[in-house]
Structure 1
Amino acid sequence: MRYAICFTPPMSDPLSAVAASWLGRSVYSGEAVEFPSVGALSVSEIAFHTAVPRRFGFHAMIMAPFRLAPETDEGQLLKALMHFTTAETPLTVERMELARISQCWGLVPHVPFHAMHLLAARVIEAFDRFRAPLSEEEIERTDPDRLTAPQFSNLHRWGDPFVMDEYRFHLKLTGLLSAAAERRLETPLRELFEPRLAEPLVVDSLALFVEQDARAPMRVHSQHPLGKISARPRGDRARRPTERRPKVDPLPRTVAPLPTPR
């Protein structure tokens, strides 16, 4: 089993519901969700272009999937995550936008989100002790020859090339696309997501994701609100989500390329 620490909006968030529909899978239950009707795109086109992000679900990666170090266990990881999140405070991204991320489409902050960058670095430092060292096979899967010197250093120090100064907060919506596919998907994606981006995005929890078996879909194991328990609304505690089928009402700027996504 592997674990990952990510951000994903709660099930009640309209952005979470529409993303689950677009990707065809709930990140909370792992169950399939009916694809939306968007512009001239067929269901098969959406399924094809979302195949890669569908396995991970709608999320912003903070600490990439890792196996537990031999001297640790899931209970210790959960306890550490609960203690960590109570010492943090919620963050707000004033504006998210649809943008190209290398050869993919995804959602990114309109301006650099430095507070999230710092939070991500604190997560990596705090939970590195739970991460088992990468195997030679895992290192090879990252294609180290294509990495920059800082990314290569991150890979060997932290188990992930895209952390610390290389980290970029983003929520991926497609796999790698050809130039023609990028153009074809842009308008439908804007129609579907931009109405949900009018409000700021609140990062008020971290989610522990689990991958039961190699290459299995990842899902939310538990969600951990940021901030002291005494300051939260009643009942707002670290929790395992209970699934409700989201109701989706289908509707419907480009940034500099980020490092190749994981």
Structure 2
Amino acid sequence: MSFTRYAIYFVPPEGGLADFGARWLGWDVGTGREAPQFNLPGLDDVTMTPRKYGFHATLKPPFRLAPGRSLVELRSAVEALATTTAPALADGLALSRLGRFLALTLDGDASAVSRVAARCVEALDDFRALAGAEDLARRRKPGLSARQDELLLRWGYPYVMEAFRFHMTLTGRLSPDQAAHWTQAVQAHLPDMPRPFRLDQIALVGERADGMFELVQRYDLRG
């Protein structure tokens, strides 16, 4: 399998949370296959945007490989990163509204999880092809702060380092009425949330030619 882009995700291990995410979005990133969605009218439409990425939290945003770099080298680098990075804890996960979409976010102090994400962004940056003018223009949406613009130019994405927020996206953009409806729907289908939440592995994922993301390999954090 060849991939057009790569990213570092948190992908839930097999179990209730992973099963929920696959059935909610209609795509199982762990197996790279479609999943039967919950029988909820309109769910297919409101999950269309996040579906291709699978149920996950982004730690290092999607990037194209830099010239001269290979997947074999990237795998080795992610393995080395995992062996020197300690697991991270937060109090748990909770359903939140982030702007106009719904996501699972962290309860309590998120600094340890943010530390892992920052390490992923920095340690693997040599594998990221520099963003072209078109990519930068697309990312430069109205409302970016001066600091977020600096982060975009340095790391290829504006919401990294201190601008990072761990989240597991569940919907596309919703109206206020839709948000209230889908909040209730999510709550009715969520499994028991992990308390505490433990980030003890990272996942290398790839974007296929059809635009869907799938798991390449998981790596235990052993630092």
TM over 0.5: yes
- 1:201 has 2:197 as partner: yes
User: Once superposed, which parts of structure 1, at least 4 consecutive aligned residues long, lie more than 4 Å away?
Assistant: none
Residue matched to 2:65? 68
Confirm or deny that 1:101 pairs with 2:88: no
The amino acid of 1:104's aligned partner reads F
1:128-164 deviation digits (Å, cap 9, x = unpaired): 1111100111112213443111110001000000001
Q: Percent identity?
A: 33
Deviations 1:201-258 (A, max 9, x none): 2211110110123x70111111111116xxxxxxxxxxxxxxxxxxxxxxxxxxxxxx
Q: 1:124 aligns with which of 121, 124, 135?
A: 121
Q: 1:47 aligns with which of 20, 44, 49?
A: 44
Tell me the secondary structure at the aligned position of residue 28 of structure 1: coil
Supply the AA of the counterpart residue of 2:158. P
Contact kept in structure 2, 1:144 and 1:152, CA below 8 Å: no
Greater Rg by CA? 1
Deviation at 1:198, TM superposition (A): 5.2
Query: What's the offset of the Cα at 1:123?
Result: 1.3
The residue aligned with 1:26 is: 28
Aligned to 1:112: 109
Matches within 5 A, 1:176-191: 176-191=173-188
The equivalent residue for 2:19 is 17
1:254 maps to which residue?
A: none
Q: What is the letter of the counterpart of residue 212 of structure 1?
A: R
| Cα distance in structure 2, aligned partners of 1:206 and 1:166 | 20
- 1:221 maps onto 2:223 in alignment: no
Amino acid across the alignment from 2:35? V
Contact 1:206–1:225 (Cα < 8 Å) also in 2 = yes
Residue 76 of structure 1 deviates from its aligned partner by 0.9
How far apart, in 2, do the equivalents of 1:190 and 1:59 lie?
18
Question: Size of the alignment, in residue pairs?
Answer: 220
Distance 1:185 1:91 in 2: 30
Structure 2 residue matching 1:146: 3-state secondary structure: coil
| More strand by percentage | 2
CA-CA distance at 1:90 after TM superposition: 2.0
For 2:34, what is the secondary structure of its paired residue?
Answer: coil
Give the 3-state SS of the residue equivalent to 2:130 in structure 1: coil
Matches of 2:12 and 2:61 in 1, distance apart? 18
User: How many angstroms apart in 2 are the aligned matches of 1:198 and 1:121?
Assistant: 23
Question: How far apart are 1:18 and its partner, in Å?
Answer: 0.9
Output the TM-score relative to the length of structure 2: 0.94
CA–CA distance in structure 2, aligned partners of residues 218 and 198 of structure 1: 25
| Letter aligned with residue 6 of structure 2 | Y
* CA distance, structure 2, for counterparts of residue 94 and residue 122 of structure 1: 21
1:171 maps to what in 2? 168
Secondary structure at the counterpart of residue 196 of structure 1: coil
> Would the aligned equivalents of 1:5 and 1:63 in 2 still touch at CA under 8 Å?
yes
Greater alpha carbon shift after TM alignment, 132-141 vs 164-173: 132-141
Q: Could you list the runs of 5+ residues in structure 1 that have no partner in the other structure?
A: 229-262
Q: What is the TM-score with the length of structure 1 in the denominator? A: 0.80
Q: Which residue of 1 aligns with 2:8?
A: 5
The separation in 2 between residues aligned to 1:99 and 1:82, in whole angstroms, is: 32
Preserved CA contact (<8 Å) 1:8 1:206: yes
Answer whether contact 1:50 1:174 (CA < 8 A) is retained: yes
- Residue 4 of structure 1 deviates from its aligned partner by 0.4
Q: Structure 2 counterpart of 1:200, which letter?
A: P
Q: Which residues of structure 2 form unaligned runs of 5+? A: none
Contact in 1 for aligned 2:91/2:109 (Cα 8 Å): no
> CA separation in 2, counterparts of 1:20 and 1:200?
22
